[in-house]
Amino acid sequence: MSYPQAKIILVTGGVRSGKSSFAQSLASQYERQVRYIATAEAKDEEMRRRILHHQKNRPTSWNVIEEPIWIDQYFAPNEKASADTVTLLDCVTVWVSNLLLQKDPMGKEMWESEKGLKKVEEQIERFIHALRETNHKAILVTNEVGFGGIEMNVLGRIYQDLLGWTNQKLAKVADQVYLVVAGIPMLIKDDEKGVMQKLGDL
């Protein structure tokens, strides 16, 4: 399989679908410096195991940056990375969760108020704006959480809605979008070829 040299690539799929492995294989296709932005924080044992798994499966030569919140700074046009850099962000899913769980000055989590949710949306918009203006290649990993059905609790539903909204905006900006199912990547958008495939046509 050959991969067109798209500027922005979005890789989406369900949990354990193989999307991170595929995104890493894409990043390795470029003969460029790879910068890996990890958004996860080791807050419990299960997450520590997940982080360790990702660490073992990526090349040691990659420049790893751990940033749970302020990721837009790494995509801004005036950012230090050169055009020869490929930035792999893994993942948008955890990042959106981190944004919702931030505390406001009153000690409330952002998802608990309309004002907090608006600030989260503004932060996502800033990231998308930076991504649109970036001067280097970017590969973004995200989840299709809607595949699991509608959450029964309020936070879960807010999270699903916000991540779905974010994914749609990222897909619009991306030159290519891949959907990974059971380890199989399917190209569903390719602006380089003027192709937008429907899932029913795959």
Is 16 annotated in a binding site? The answer is yes
Is 200 annotated in a binding site? The answer is no
DSSP single-letter state for residue 192: T
**8 A C-beta contact, residue 16 and residue 141:** no
Is 194 annotated in a binding site? The answer is no
Q: What is the DSSP string of 29-40?
A: HSSSEEEEEE--
Is 23 annotated in a binding site? The answer is no
Is 14 annotated in a binding site? The answer is yes
Is 20 annotated in a binding site? The answer is yes
Is 79 annotated in a binding site? The answer is no
**8 A C-beta contact, residue 25 and residue 32:** no
Q: How far apart are CA 167 and CA 144, in angstroms?
A: 8
Q: What angle do CA 13, 11, 142 make, to 5 degrees?
A: 65
Is 90 annotated in a binding site? The answer is yes
Extract the tokens encoding 91: 């993942």
Is 13 annotated in a binding site? The answer is yes
Q: How far apart are CA 1 and CA 180, in angstroms?
A: 15
Task: Spell out the alpha helix ranges (H) of 36-91.
Answer: 45-56
Is 61 annotated in a binding site? The answer is no
Is 66 annotated in a binding site? The answer is yes
Burial 2-16 (b: 16+ CB within 10 A, else e): eeeebbbbbbbbbee
- What residues are labeled active site? 54
Annotated binding site for GTP: 13-20, 38-40, 66, 90
Annotated binding site: 13-20, 38-40, 66, 90
